[in-house]
Amino acid sequence: MRPHNGFYGPFGGQFVAETLIPALDELEESFNSVRKKKKFIGEMKRYLHDFAGRPTPVYFAKNISEKYGINIYLKREDLLHTGAHKINNAIGQAILTKYMGKKRIIAETGAGQHGVAVATAAAMFGFDCTIYMGSIDAERQMPNVKKMKLLGTEVKLVDTGLKTLKDAVSAALKDWVFNVAHTHYLIGSAVGPHPFPEIVAYFQSVIGRESREYFESLGFLPDFVIACVGGGSNAIGMFHDFITSDVKLIGVEAGGTSLNPGENSATLAVGKKGIFQGTLSYLLQNENFQMEDVHSISAGLDYPGVGPQHAYLRDRGRAEYVHVFDNRALHAFKELTGLEGIIPALESSHALAFVIDNRDRFKGKNVLICLSGRGDKDFGIIEKVNLEDI
Ligand SMILES: Cc1ncc(COP(=O)(O)O)c(C=O)c1O
C-alpha cells in the first residue's frame, strides 16, 4: 500500500513544525533511493538473518487448536533477537541512518521492546543513542530499561502528561527539532508524519511476506490474519502481503478496563478524526478536541492514536478492528503459556484473546495470529495480578 502525496485516502500527511520538513524530505528521498538498491537490500537481509534470527517460523499450535476447535497458526516474532518484531524496523532504519551519514539516533519506547531493539542496533552500528520513555512505562517494564542502559543507551524518563508512550513520542519529536542535522528519529511504529508510516510498514512487511510464503508452500492461504494494534506496526507488516487477497484481516486494539473515556486505548472503536504527532488519523480525544487519557495493561498498546494506514483500511472496509479487555488478554496469556509452552507478550495476547473469545466465529477455520513478542518483559505486571482468578 503506497501513499499518494503522503496520504492514505484522507489520512496521514505531514503536520509538523517547519524546521522538520527538510529532514522529512531528506528521509523520504534517502528511503526511496535505498529501497531499490541491491547493496542496501542485501545488507538488510543479512542482518535480519544472521543477527536478528529471521526467518521466524509459523507454528501450528496444536494443543490450543484442539481445545478451541480452531486451526491456530502463530507467526513467531517472539523468537527474534531482543524478543519482538521491533528489531525488524530498528535494523532497517539503523542501516538507513548509516546511508544518510547521521551519527545519532533517538527513539521513543512504550513497552521497552522498541527501545531495546534500537539500543541493540545502535550498539552494533556504533551510533550515539537516546531513548525517551514515560516514567510509568519505565516502572512497569524495568527489565527493558536495564537492558537499554547496559547496551550503552541514555534512557531519558519523561514525567509530563500521562508519563507513557505518547509523552515519550512528544519528547523525542522535540529533541529531533533541535538536533535534526546529525540525528535520526527512529520511530517505532507506523505512526507520525509521512514518510514514517510507509518506512515502518516497509521494514515490517517481512512478517507478512514470510507468512504468505509459508502458507503458499502448504497450498492454501489462511482464512483470517489477526494482529494486535498499538500504533500498528506489527499489524500493518502482517497484513502487507494479504491486502490484495481475500483473506480477512483483523486488528485488535486494547479495550483496557472499559470503553469509557480514559479507560482504554481502543482508538478505532471510540476515537475521532484529528491531527496528532504529525499525522491525521483517528485519536482518543474529548469533545473539546483535547487528548483523552489512555489505559491498557500492556504498555505497547497504551497509545491514543493509530497509524494512518489502519485508519484508511478500516474506513475502506478492507480490515476490521476490534478490541479486547485487559482481563481477557490475561486469560489468553495464561492459556498459551499453559497449553503451548509459549509465554506471549501481553500485547500479542490481545490478538489471541479475540480468537479464543469469539471461538464460534472461527470454528474450523485457519487463523494466523502475529505473536509479536515474548512475555518475559511483562513479569512485573503479571506478578501484580492473580492469574488463578482470571
Ligand atoms: C510485543 C509488542 N507487540 C505489539 C506492540 C505494539 O506496537 P505496534 O502496534 O507498533 O506493533 C508492542 C509495542 O511496544 C510490543 O512490544
Say whether 5 sits in a helix, a strand or coil.
Answer: coil
Contacts of 346 (CB under 8 A, 6+ apart): 297, 298, 300, 329, 330, 333, 375, 378, 381
Ligand 1 atom showing the smallest separation from residue 114 Cα: 14
- What one-letter code names the amino acid at 212? R
Q: What pLDDT shows up at residue 84?
A: 97
Q: Which three cell numbers stand for residue 121?
A: 542496533
- Tell me the CA–centroid distance for residue 239 and ligand 1, in Å: 15
Residue nearest (by alpha carbon) to ligand 1 atom 14: 300
| Segments in the chain below pLDDT 50 | none
Q: Domain locations in the chain?
A: 18-48+86-196, 55-83+205-389
Contacts of 144 (CB under 8 A, 6+ apart): 109, 111, 112, 113, 115, 116, 377
pLDDT in tens, 126-185: 999 999 999 999 998 899 999 999 999 999 999 999 899 999 999 999 999 999 999 999
278 lines ligand 1 (CB under 6 A): no
Are 287 and 276 in contact, with CB atoms under 8 Å apart? no
Q: What pLDDT shows up at residue 224?
A: 99
Are 227 and 347 in contact, with CB atoms under 8 Å apart? no
Q: How far is CA 284 from CA 122, 194, 224, 293, 309, in A?
A: 33, 21, 27, 8, 17
Q: How far is CA 146 from CA 113, 133, 154, in A?
A: 12, 12, 11
CA distance 378 to 337: 13
Ligand 1 atom showing the smallest separation from residue 188 Cα: 10
Q: How far is CA 258 from CA 88, 323, 388, in A?
A: 33, 10, 22
Residues serving a catalytic function are: 86, 108, 372
Is cis: bond before 195, omega within 30 of 0? yes
In degrees rounded to 5, what are phi and psi of residue 149?
Answer: -65, -45
83 lines ligand 1 (CB under 6 A): no
Instruction: Name which of 106, 117, 116 is nearest 175 in CA terms.
Output: 106
- Fold that domain 18-48+86-196 belongs to in CATH: Rossmann fold (3.40.50)
111 lines ligand 1 (CB under 6 A): yes
88 lines ligand 1 (CB under 6 A): no
Q: What pLDDT shows up at residue 287?
A: 85
- What one-letter code names the amino acid at 71? N
84 lines ligand 1 (CB under 6 A): yes
Residue nearest (by alpha carbon) to ligand 1 atom 5: 300
Residue nearest (by alpha carbon) to ligand 1 atom 12: 300
Q: What pLDDT shows up at residue 317?
A: 98
What would the CATH number be for the domain defined by 55-83+205-389? 3.40.50.1100
137 lines ligand 1 (CB under 6 A): no
- Tell me the CA–centroid distance for residue 347 and ligand 1, in Å: 6
Are 341 and 296 in contact, with CB atoms under 8 Å apart? no
Sheet containing strand 279-283, edge to edge, reads 7-8, 11-12, 279-283, 272-276
Give DSSP secondary structure letters for 251-294: EEEEEET-SSTTS---HHHH-EEEEETTEEEEE-B-TTSPBPP-
CA distance 213 to 325: 33
Are 372 and 347 in contact, with CB atoms under 8 Å apart? yes
- Tell me the CA–centroid distance for residue 219 and ligand 1, in Å: 30
